[in-house]
Every structure is written in C-alpha cells, then in structure tokens.
Amino acid sequence: MFELGVVYRNIERGDAATAARLGASGTATVHEAMGRVGLMQPYMRPIYTGAQAAGTAVTVLLQPGDNWMLHVAAEQIRPGDIVVAGVTAECTDGYFGDLLATSFKARGARALIIDAGVRDVRVLTEMRFPVWSKAISAKGTVKSTLGSVNVPIVCAGALVTPGDIVVADDDGVVVVPRAMAAAAAVAASAREANESAKRDQLAQGTLGLDMYGMREPLQKAGLRYVD
Amino acid sequence: MFELGVVYRNIERGDAATAARLGASGTATVHEAMGRVGLMQPYMRPIYTGAQAAGTAVTVLLQPGDNWMLHVAAEQIRPGDIVVAGVTAECTDGYFGDLLATSFKARGARALIIDAGVRDVRVLTEMRFPVWSKAISAKGTVKSTLGSVNVPIVCAGALVTPGDIVVADDDGVVVVPRAMAAAAAVAASAREANESAKRDQLAQGTLGLDMYGMREPLQKAGLRYVD
Amino acid sequence: MFELGVVYRNIERGDAATAARLGASGTATVHEAMGRVGLMQPYMRPIYTGAQAAGTAVTVLLQPGDNWMLHVAAEQIRPGDIVVAGVTAECTDGYFGDLLATSFKARGARALIIDAGVRDVRVLTEMRFPVWSKAISAKGTVKSTLGSVNVPIVCAGALVTPGDIVVADDDGVVVVPRAMAAAAAVAASAREANESAKRDQLAQGTLGLDMYGMREPLQKAGLRYVD
Amino acid sequence: MFELGVVYRNIERGDAATAARLGASGTATVHEAMGRVGLMQPYMRPIYTGAQAAGTAVTVLLQPGDNWMLHVAAEQIRPGDIVVAGVTAECTDGYFGDLLATSFKARGARALIIDAGVRDVRVLTEMRFPVWSKAISAKGTVKSTLGSVNVPIVCAGALVTPGDIVVADDDGVVVVPRAMAAAAAVAASAREANESAKRDQLAQGTLGLDMYGMREPLQKAGLRYVD
Amino acid sequence: MFELGVVYRNIERGDAATAARLGASGTATVHEAMGRVGLMQPYMRPIYTGAQAAGTAVTVLLQPGDNWMLHVAAEQIRPGDIVVAGVTAECTDGYFGDLLATSFKARGARALIIDAGVRDVRVLTEMRFPVWSKAISAKGTVKSTLGSVNVPIVCAGALVTPGDIVVADDDGVVVVPRAMAAAAAVAASAREANESAKRDQLAQGTLGLDMYGMREPLQKAGLRYVD
Amino acid sequence: MFELGVVYRNIERGDAATAARLGASGTATVHEAMGRVGLMQPYMRPIYTGAQAAGTAVTVLLQPGDNWMLHVAAEQIRPGDIVVAGVTAECTDGYFGDLLATSFKARGARALIIDAGVRDVRVLTEMRFPVWSKAISAKGTVKSTLGSVNVPIVCAGALVTPGDIVVADDDGVVVVPRAMAAAAAVAASAREANESAKRDQLAQGTLGLDMYGMREPLQKAGLRYVD
C-alpha cells in the first residue's frame, strides 16, 4: 500500500452498468444509500457548473509538483474509467491541462478527480472534459520522481481502491467500493422512487413534519411552541 | 437567547414593501446606507450567479450534522420570508436539498441563508430557489437533536433577529434590523439617486479626484507627485 | 520601495504589442515560458468565467479598508493599462465597485487585479470589466490614509513593478517583468506551435509516454509494471 | 443593535461569585452545562498556555484596522470585567498591545477576548494578562472611526450581550447569558461532582461501555463484533 | 472497507520493538526511510510541545459530532496501542477529554491521533497523555450513531490499517504499514548513523555543497555565480 | 528580478549596529516606525515561544518541494545574517532540519525565515536556532531544480531585497530596506522613549482617553454616551 514506482496493469473494474445507474442517482443519493461514507471533502469542486461523471477508478499516486505519473496512467485508461489522483503532500500546482485532457479523452476517460490543481480550464470546459479539483492554477509541474498507478490512494480524505466506482457532480465526489456497488445502486434507486412521491406532496404544501411523522418525536424530545 | 427546543410562532416581521425596496438597492448600497454594519462574512456565496433575494427572516438554530429544525421551520414560513440558519458548531454538511426546497418554496419562502452546506445544487438552480451557503456538500444530515426556530441567531458573523429584513445578492448577505429598515431604505435610495449622476460623469472621463473634491485633502495628507 | 504617499507619474510601460501576444498565449503558457516564476497565488480568481486580459501594470499600494488610492490611480491610467493593487495587511473588503469601474474603463483600463475584495460583481460582469480578486464582499471602504501609486508592490505573492506586463485568465494571473517580455513572448509562441502538433497526435490515441520518449527514463527511474 | 457611535455606561453585570464558580468549572464543563450553546469558534486561542479567566463582559464593536473604541472601553471597565471585542469585518491587525494591557489591568480587567489580532505577546505573557484572539500580528491600527461600547456584539460566532459572563481557558471561550448563569453554575458543579467518581473508576480500568451502560444501546443500534 | 457498525477484535499488530525503534528515529527520519509516503497532513499538531509517541494502531471511524465509538474502541486497546480516529465528515468538535484519557491510559494506550478536536487540554497535558489533533474545542459530542473500530480509515490524508505502526512527534504523524515496518526501521537507523557524522562536519563549518558533492551537479544544472 | 539559477555573491548588507538597535525595539515598534509597511503576513510563526532575531537578509528563491538552494545559500552566509526564503509556489514541506541548522549556525546565521515548512523542531529548539515558518512538517524535499540566492524575493507577502534588515519576534517578521534602516531605528527609539512614560501613567489608572486627548475628537466624531 502506498507503494512507489509500481503500475498495476490488471485491475478488477466495477460494473459499467452499475456505474451508470449510480451516476444517474447522483452523489447526494448515492452517499445516503451507502450509509454516509465514501465522500470526498467538499473542497473538491468541478471546474464547470453542471459537470457530471460516473465510472471506474484508475488511481494515481503523485509526487508534489510532478505530473509524470499522469502520463503513465494514460496508458492504463480504458473506456469508462475515471482517473483519480492523490498527492503525497499538499499541492495546488496545475498538474493537468488541455494536452493531457486530449490524451485521456482519446483513451476513453470520462473525468479526472485530482487532489491538487488543474489549468487550461477554459479549454477543458470547451472540450467538456470534466475535472474535480482542489485548485485552479497556471503553475506547471515537472516530470522527475516516480509515484504509482493503480495502488490504493487517499484523495481528498477518501480511500480509493483501483476499480472502485466513482460518482461526481455539482455536489461533490463519492467513492463506491466495488463490492458495495450493486447494493448501493439498488438502495439509491429505492431512495429516488421514494423521493419522487414526496416531492409532489411537498410541492402541494404538505409539511415534512406531517409527511415524515415528526410531530410526535419532536414533542417527545421536548420541543415547545410559544405563541 | 440561544434557547434550545423552542419555536416562537408569533414574530413581528419587517415591512414587505421596505424589504422589496432594500432588495432593489442591493447589498452593497444597503450596507453603506446602514453605516457599514450587519454584513455576513464574505465566505457566504450564492449557489448560482445572479441570485437575488430580499425578505423577512425566519431564523433557525441548528445542531451540527442535524437538519431536523429545518423541517420545523418550514411550518413557520410565510410568503416573503427568507429562512436564515446558524449552527451551534462549524459544519459543512449538506443540510438542505431539493425536497426541502420544494417544501420551502410551496410555503412561500424566497431563499435560504445557511452557515453550513447545501446539496442538490443543480436542481435548486433549475428551480431558481436561491441559497447562500458556506459550502456545497453531498453529505446528508440526521434528525435527532433539538435546536430552535425564531430565536436570535448568529449566522456567518451577523446577528439575526426573527423578522429582520435580509438582503442577498452576488456581493453577499446583509441583515437590516426591523427598527432600522425604513431609514435604511430611504438612505439607500438617496445613495442610488446620487450614484446615477456620478456614473455618467465618470463614464465621460471625469476623475473621481475632481468629482469628489479629493485633490485638496490628498495634498493636505501629504501626497507627493513625482515626475 | 514600499514608499507611502507618493505617486510616480512617469513610468516606463512594457510594449503593447508584446502584451497582446502574451495575452493570446494565456497564463499557463506564459508562466512556462518564463521558467515558472511570476505567478500570483491561486486564490486570485476572476469574477466571471472566461475573463481574459493583458496589459501594462499601474500599481497601487492600498491601506486596509481604504480605497482612496484607487481614485488617485485612475488619473495615471493610460489605454491598455491594468491596475494591480496590493494591500499593506490582509483585507477582504470590497474596495472597487461599478462607479470606479466606470471611471477606470473610461480611462482605458483593461482590468483590475486586487489582493482584496470587490463588489457590484453583477454590474461589473454586465460591463465586461474583468477583475481578479481574493474575495467578493459588499463591505465598503473609507478614504482616509495615503498609500502610493506606481511603486513596486507585492500582490498575491508576486512582485509587480510599474510597467510590467500582466496576463490574466481563468487559470490565474502572471506578471512578466518588462525586460523579460519580448523573450517570454517568443518562448510562449514557440511552446504553442509545438503544442498544436502534439495535440493532434494525442487526440489520435498516441500516448505521451511514446510521444515524449518517457519509457526509457521511467524504466531507469525504476518503474515496475505488475500484471 | 449594532449601533455605531454609542457607549452604554450602565450595564447590568452578571454576578461575580457565579462568574468565579463558572470559571472554576472550565469551558468544557460550562458548555455542556448550558446545553452546548454559546461557544466561540475554535480559532480563538489564548496567547499563552494555561491562560484562564472568568468575568463579566464589557463589549466593544470595532471597525477594521481601528482600535479607537478600545480606549473608550477602558473607561467602562470595572474590576472583574472581561473586555470582549468584535469587528465589523474580518481583520487580523494587532489591535492591542502592552500599553492598552497596562491600562486595562489598572482598571481591573481580567482578560481580553478579541476576534482580531494582538501584539506585544511576549510582554502580555510576562504581565500575565490573558488574551484570546484570532491572530497575533505586529500590524498596528488607526484611531479614526467610531464603533460602540456595551452594545450586543458577535465575537467569533457567539452573541455577547454586555454583562454576560465569559469563561475562557485552553479549550476556548464560552459566553453565559446573565439570566442563565446561576442555573449553569449549578449544572456545571453537578457535572463535576459526577465526573470525579467516574474518573476514579476509569483509572482502575472500568470501561465506559460498562460504567455508562452502553452495551445494550450499542447492540440495539446494530453494532457487530467480529473475531 | 469503511464499513459502519463493526468492531474487529482480532487485529494483527505490528512488532512492539520495531515500533520503539521507529519512535526513537522520529517522524522526519522515518518518513524519509519510507520513501516519503504515509505522512499525515501538517495541520495535525500535538497538544503540548515535546509530545512523542510510537505504537500500534487501533483505528476508529467516527461520525461527525459523535464520540460513541471512542468508548467502544477503549475495550480494544492493548498496552502499546495508539488510537487513531478518522471522521466521516469535517468536524472540529472536542471528541476526547480527561475522562476518556483516563480510561485510555488505564488500558495501556500511548496516545490519540484524531482528525477532529479535543478538549481538557490542560489536564491532558498534566497527565502527559499526548494527543495530535486538528483542533482544540470545548464543544462536546453526542453518542448516537455507529461508526466502526479496527477498519481501515483515512486520518488527515493518510490511510491507516489496524495494527500499522504510528510514529508521532513535534514534526507530525507518520503511518508505517506493518509489512514495511522492519525495513523502515533498518533504513531509519542507517540514516541516523549517517547523519551523526555529517552533523559534526557541518558544525565545524564544512559546507553541504562540499560534503554532499553538490558543486558539480549545480554547475551542470547551469547555476551561475555573479560577483 | 526573480531570476532563476543565479547566486549573487556580493551584496550590500545593512548596518549591523542598526540591525541590533531595531531588534531591541521589536517588530511592533519597528513596523510603526516604518509607517506600517514591510510586515510579513501573520501566518508566519516562530517555532518556539520567545524567539527573537535581527540581522541582514541573505535571500533564497526556492522551488516547491526542493531545498537545494538552501545548501547553496549556506556558503553566502556571513555572521549576523538571517536567511529569508520564498518559494515559487505554495508549499508546506519541511525544507530545513537540524543538519542545515547546524551548518547555518556554524556559518554565523542568526535565524531562518521561510514561507514554507520546517522539521526537527524539537532539536532546533534545543539548539536555540530560531525559525519563523508557515508550517511544521516532517515531509522532506528533493534537490533537483535551481532557484536563486540573493535576488529580490517575496516572502509571506513582503518584498525582501538582499541586505535588508530583518527583525523577527513573537509578533511576526518585519523587513526594513537598507536605505530606511537608520531613520527607522531613530524613529523606533523615539517611540520607545515615549511609550515608557505613558506606560507608567496608564499603570496608575490614567485613561488613554485623557492621556492622548481623545475626548474632544471622539465628541466631534459624534460619540454619544447613554446612561
């Protein structure tokens, strides 16, 4: 774990159809469906509004200020993958720009999730290549120290194992371990079905207090109303 | 003050027409008109560009990671209200999403101001339900501990008393105490009338140095020009 | 240096055509072309997406919470200038709004770069007057203490000498000293020419590993592939 | 509220003996005893380890970069008071140094709580005049704009009303409204009595799981043990 | 992974003697010896200067604002363990105080590493029970939602697997996977032996430029000296 | 300016006696004496309480995560110098530890000021080698990319020219340009003489309001007293 200088070529990827279903549910629903674990920290933001992606993780462990391993990772990308990159120390440099995005896209990558900075965001936005990052910075990087590809990494506070399903949208980024993905997709769909009916009721003025039966527990907890 | 477990049902709301006038002036002008007090900290940002709202405050005191009282607050909303929520400790969780927004909107709320996180921001944006928040996060919340509704609260560094007029736009969020609202609206309008003429002059190339008569005080203060 | 109470009227400005060429290259390319120096810190963000500017620096040294010297600076602006403002202490107040923007624009300014806050961002956006700032805040400022105009300043971690060429876009803000500008423009153009061909190759699926000849140095560095 | 340019001379102070009792309990216990409200944000830190203070609040509303009102506040200090200062905008300047500390001490003040910066911390430490602040900074301040003394203020996220009891130690700063002080002191003492016995048991190896009877609720909540 | 509601009772702990050797080397040396991976983020600070600890990790996954699982973890502590706690969302609450410290100490724990807040720091310091944390806060926590004990967790950006060796001192916190521990201890000792001789040379005025043979590589890299 | 790959060997240093006098005055007084310019940002903190230093600046421009130039700088140190290091991008790595400190001390350096991280702080404290830094981190650095020595740099928001006088203590770090140093020392001494008499008066209970003659300007500014 946290090995440096290694590229694992054969990783077991989560199921593509499950990834698609989870993506359709969105991060907030998926995170609930998982029991509220697996969310990256909220400083991870999409470079453009409305960005959405779901896919299987190719992980990259980067050195600070050094994007060499993103080039190594490109070769390991298969269509439907999302590259997820952590760094061994805090860094806001711009590791990724339009050239790497062109390469990643040509290899079939759906997105980049990086716990550092990116650049060329105007061009990335025009290409509609979505990136979730900690920073935007014109600062470039060198190519001199080895990291790894497809080892377990920590990205923005979340553990990511190669092949995990990653779901990202305007609300953030959630990591779904492969073994939990099918169950999470079922639970997420159930939540959505449930929410649709509730939305209609609430739109008609029904209070959540009544719809969820909260009045009694609130009273038991001691809530007082004062006129 | 800072009572827990209480809902005040009868609050005295600021005047709706005054709220509308203040909203038309915008936060920067209103804040000046108030003598530069009442501004929330600048980390409070709208979830979409161009969001604007003005209304009367229904306040909510929340516990960290617990949105129970937002459901309780929904019942206290009257058309024209803005829900303003503080938390008893720092928290970036997503307390509010599209279901609560549907309910708040159905009750007549114009906006949410929350010193914590929100989620479902894509849907909230489509609904044009404006929210000013400290964070965006897919992290959900529980419903287990009491807070209060319509007690004085602190939100993003500003004291908010129930019924205060709240004005929010791209520049931030300002709180106008009920007793100061009429005077603030008059002062804000006066500033605006004044600014319109100045804008024309400046657009024609007149310098603020001359228009505001600054040359003499600058000279007195000792400003030197070097060629 | 860091003199207070002085306005230098005659500064030597960088070449306008060179500024235009550097602006066309963009901050990421210019920063690389300069050997990776001169970048402001990444907390400097444009007030609207897609903002772009390049020009010659008129510098302003401001006191915290005091925008008097921006009015003094307005008189020193010539068409093609960018006003770059540093503050003697950390401050997020809204130093600049639509009136000053109207004045700056009338004088020919192309942008404001300020290591503090701005306000009226909706109007500034409608005017298409680009600003890069540390914060957005409705908080106004006073006009009571002298700073300076056209002295060397520090803005967001970068040293800016009056007349330097400043390039700003979605990726950040880069400062190019006058003496380095011509060489930087040549180097930036060379980089761009080079990148265009690479982009085509990468789009066709060629890997950076092969295109840049990285396989051998990676192997020498000890990279292991595991199947 | 948030009036500028006013000094209230006659404020009703909380009871000195109650303040002393609350101070003896410490912030963590008092905060629990109050139902977990009234705590300032954790960025407020003492300038020296081991600082402890409890007293009645003289409040000050300051302008950014301007410490004029601290001089005005000095006259309102009575023995046993703690000066609590909020600022109308974010500021890290050093508002308070050894001269003001000498004056405050001579007037009987026990501490300063300030949502901004202080300086001369070596001398303040030698004087044993405790200060809790957001920052330490050599940056001085001007004396040019009015704020207020003894109006309700917000300091580090907490509402402080003049005369409230303030308790501060290494764990932070808690504000106890006058009306709640007696009850809070009783509750705090009860907690302490209770804790002493528990401490002994825990020291002998008894588990909290058993002492607090947590095993059954944990099991009901579904906790599984895996060997 | 990231399972909620589970306690693993039988974990394989790293070797105690190896932990002691790594502790004697200190975090900076151990981190180098590991190839510069495994370091927690630098916001993790000891509650008192000079704190030092090394031991085997008992991990805890906490919910925000809820310290229930620390009580569950107490039972799993064996002499020589260090409790390492991550939280499913950002939180600065004071999860741990003198009662839990008494219990942990009685069970043989050497330290607590927590990606959240602690309280009672004065008493913890007197007890010499070292804690590395993100914050200090008097804010207490509830006991209502399950997390887990002895599952892999992320703490301050580092992955921690139960039984890993943890080394902490004034410079930060390093996690050494069990499988790497013996090799890391050897490498760390080798570094130290090497450093001692170098220290003597440097103390006598020898330059690192000469001692490390840097002059030639610097010249090759193009370093110019200007008189 | 901001040249990479250059070492200036002959710099003009500020006067040693003046540096000593400024050091005796301390940062707060010196900063006032300079007209409130030249202060580094308040995130720069000493690694131990009570650290004090004054000397002449040897400047270093570092690359992120690379401390090669600190070794180059060691050779340029003369007794009485303070090494001041800026980085071309944000970085919290531990650039400096006990070996470099031993070397710097042997060369006569009085302190290090670095806009990044340091490590081995326990040993540095025992050696009484003072460091002011942005972070403390066990993370080491590489030696692969050139920066410069004795070029003008930006460190924590302040411009530092080689040979400037640097004064640092518990309140922060101030940079005094060589040309201003003599005047600043005189002004600082005058302030101190003045302060001593004031301190006595304040200690006897005289109010600053009376001692500074503030009552009349406060009244003119409109201050109202309410009984």
Confidence (pLDDT) at A1: 45
Please report which confidence band the pLDDT of residue D79 belongs to, taking 50, 70 and 90 as the band edges: very high
Measured CA to CA, the distance from residue F114 to residue F155 in angstroms comes to 7
Is the Cβ of E227 closer than 8 Å to some Cβ of chain B? no
Residues E3-24 have a mean pLDDT of: 96
Distances (CA, A) of D60 to C92, D73, D75, D166: 21, 7, 12, 14
Question: Taking Cα atoms as reference points, which of B76, A93, A23 lies closest to residue C28?
Answer: A93
Is the Cβ of A157 closer than 8 Å to some Cβ of chain E? yes
Higher-scoring residue by pLDDT: D110, C193: D110
Q: Does the beta-carbon distance from F1 to C177 stay under 8 Å?
A: yes
ipTM for this model: 0.94
Per-residue pLDDT reduced to its tens digit, D125-144: 999 999 999 999 999 999 98
Q: Does the beta-carbon distance from E103 to D222 stay under 8 Å?
A: no
Q: How far is C91 from chain D (nearest CA, A)?
A: 7
Is the Cβ of F63 closer than 8 Å to some Cβ of chain A? yes
Chains F and B touch (3+ CB pairs under 8 A): no
Q: Name the residue of chain E whose CA is nearest to B135's CA.
A: E90
Measured CA to CA, the distance from residue F120 to residue F122 in angstroms comes to 6
Q: Is E128 exposed, middle or buried (0-12, 13-18, 19+ CB in 10 A)?
A: exposed
Answer for the pair A37, E64: CB distance below 8 angstroms, yes or no.
no
Count of residues making up chain E: 227
Mean predicted lDDT score pLDDT of chain A? 96
Beta strands in D156-222 (DSSP E): 158-160, 165-169, 172-176
Match 């997709």 to its residue by tokens: A185
Per-residue pLDDT reduced to its tens digit, B5-57: 999 999 999 999 999 999 999 999 999 999 889 999 999 999 999 999 999 99
Measured CA to CA, the distance from residue D145 to residue A224 in angstroms comes to 44
Sequence-ordered alpha helix ranges (H) in chain C: 16-25, 27-33, 68-74, 98-107, 121-127, 178-203, 208-211, 215-220
Per-residue pLDDT reduced to its tens digit, A53-95: 999 999 999 999 999 999 999 999 999 999 999 999 999 999 9
Greatest Cα-to-Cα distance within chain D, rounded to the nearest angstrom: 70
Confidence (pLDDT) at F3: 80
Measured CA to CA, the distance from residue C111 to residue C121 in angstroms comes to 13
Sequence-ordered alpha helix ranges (H) in chain B: 16-25, 27-33, 68-74, 98-107, 121-127, 178-203, 208-211, 215-220
Q: How far is A158 from chain E (nearest CA, A)?
A: 7
Measured CA to CA, the distance from residue C208 to residue C211 in angstroms comes to 5
Q: Does the beta-carbon distance from E93 to B145 stay under 8 Å?
A: no
Q: How far is E42 from chain A (nearest CA, A)?
A: 9
The region that residue D214 occupies, defined by phi over 0 for left and psi between -120 and 50 for alpha, beta otherwise, is alpha
Sign of CA dihedral F126, F130, F134, F139: negative
Listed in sequence order, the residues at least 6 apart from B114 whose beta carbon sits closer than 8 Å to its beta carbon are B83, B84, B85, B95, B96, B131, B132, B133, B134, B155
Answer for the pair B52, B169: CB distance below 8 angstroms, yes or no.
yes
Count of residues making up chain C: 227
The minimal CB distance from F138 to the residues E27, E212, E223 is found for E27
Distances (CA, A) of C109 to C6, C73, C78, C102, C164: 21, 11, 7, 10, 15
Measured CA to CA, the distance from residue E61 to residue B175 in angstroms comes to 40
- Which residues are registered as beta bridge partners of F160? F153
Match 């190339």 to its residue by tokens: B205
Confidence (pLDDT) at A2: 61
DSSP string, D50-114: T--EEEEEEEEEEBTTB-HHHHHHHHH--TTEEEEEEESS----B---HHHHHHHHHHT--EEEE
Sign of CA dihedral E205, E206, E209, E212: negative
Q: Which of B187-191, C190-194, E213-217, F184-188 has the lowest mean pLDDT?
A: C190-194
Confidence (pLDDT) at A194: 85
Is the Cβ of C61 closer than 8 Å to some Cβ of chain A? no
Measured CA to CA, the distance from residue E19 to residue E26 in angstroms comes to 11
Distance of CA F63 to the CA centre of its chain: 21
Measured CA to CA, the distance from residue F26 to residue C53 in angstroms comes to 43
Confidence (pLDDT) at E3: 80
Confidence (pLDDT) at D1: 45
The minimal CB distance from A31 to the residues B7, B99, B139 is found for B139
Q: Does the beta-carbon distance from C72 to B170 stay under 8 Å?
A: no
Measured CA to CA, the distance from residue B161 to residue B65 in angstroms comes to 23
Neighbours of D (≥3 Cβ pairs closer than 8 A)?
Answer: B, C, E, F
Q: How far is F159 from chain C (nearest CA, A)?
A: 7
Interhelix angle C98-107/B178-203, rounded to 10 degrees, is: 10
Answer for the pair F88, F64: CB distance below 8 angstroms, yes or no.
yes
Measured CA to CA, the distance from residue A127 to residue B104 in angstroms comes to 37
Answer for the pair F69, F3: CB distance below 8 angstroms, yes or no.
no
The minimal CB distance from B159 to the residues D2, D90, D177 is found for D2
Q: Is E197 exposed, middle or buried (0-12, 13-18, 19+ CB in 10 A)?
A: exposed
Sequence-ordered alpha helix ranges (H) in E115-220: 121-127, 178-203, 208-211, 215-220
Measured CA to CA, the distance from residue B130 to residue C53 in angstroms comes to 31
Q: Is the pLDDT of residue B1 over 60?
A: no
Chains C and E touch (3+ CB pairs under 8 A): no
Pull the structure tokens for residue C60.
């302003």
Residues D23-31 have a mean pLDDT of: 96
Chains A and F touch (3+ CB pairs under 8 A): yes
Burial D138-169 (b: 16+ CB within 10 A, else e): bbbbbbebbbbbbbbbbbbbbbbbbbbbbbbb
Instruction: Tell me the three state secondary structure of residue E179.
Output: helix
Per-residue pLDDT reduced to its tens digit, B101-135: 999 999 999 999 999 999 999 999 999 999 999 99
The minimal CB distance from D139 to the residues C65, C89, C144 is found for C89
Answer for the pair E93, E68: CB distance below 8 angstroms, yes or no.
no
Is the Cβ of D224 closer than 8 Å to some Cβ of chain E? yes
Residue B62 phi, psi dihedral angles, 5° rounding = -105, 155
Residues F173-193 have a mean pLDDT of: 94
Measured CA to CA, the distance from residue D217 to residue D223 in angstroms comes to 9
- Three-state SS sequence of F94-149: ECCCHHHHHHHHHHCCCEEEEEEEECCHHHHHHHCCCEEEEEECCCCCECCCCCEE
Measured CA to CA, the distance from residue B94 to residue B122 in angstroms comes to 13
Residues D144-164 have a mean pLDDT of: 96
Distances (CA, A) of A195 to A117, A214, B105: 36, 17, 17
Listed in sequence order, the residues at least 6 apart from F116 whose beta carbon sits closer than 8 Å to its beta carbon are F62, F85, F87, F91, F92, F93, F95, F133, F134, F135
Distance of CA B189 to the CA centre of its chain: 19
Q: How many CB atoms lie within 10 A of CB A197?
A: 10
Higher-scoring residue by pLDDT: F212, D196: F212
Pull the structure tokens for residue D53.
């203070």
Per-residue pLDDT reduced to its tens digit, F19-51: 999 999 999 999 999 988 999 999 999 999 999
Per-residue pLDDT reduced to its tens digit, E130-188: 999 999 999 999 998 999 999 999 999 999 999 999 999 999 999 999 999 999 999 99
Per-residue pLDDT reduced to its tens digit, A168-210: 999 999 999 999 999 999 999 999 888 888 999 999 999 999 9
Per-residue pLDDT reduced to its tens digit, C144-181: 899 999 999 999 999 999 999 999 999 999 999 999 99
Task: For residue F158, give the amino acid letter.
Answer: A
Is the Cβ of F93 closer than 8 Å to some Cβ of chain A? yes
Query: In the structure, how many helices (H) and strands (E) does chain D have?
Result: 8, 12
Chain B residues within an 8 Å CB radius of A39: 137-139
- Three-state SS sequence of chain F: CCCCCEEECCCCCCCHHHHHHHHHHCHHHHHHHCCCCCECCCCCEECCCCCCEEEEEEEEEEECCECHHHHHHHCCCCCCEEEEEEECCCCCCECCCHHHHHHHHHHCCCEEEEEEEECCHHHHHHHCCCEEEEEECCCCCECCCCCEECCCEEECCEEECCCCEEEEECCEEEEECHHHHHHHHHHHHHHHHHHHHHHHHHHCCCCHHHHCCCHHHHHHCCCEEEC
Answer for the pair F78, F109: CB distance below 8 angstroms, yes or no.
no
Q: Is the pLDDT of residue A153 over 60?
A: yes
Confidence (pLDDT) at E1: 45
Per-residue pLDDT reduced to its tens digit, C23-69: 999 999 999 999 889 999 999 999 999 999 999 999 999 999 999 99
Measured CA to CA, the distance from residue E70 to residue E112 in angstroms comes to 10
Quick one: which H or E segment has residue A11? none
Neighbours of F (≥3 Cβ pairs closer than 8 A)?
Answer: A, C, D, E
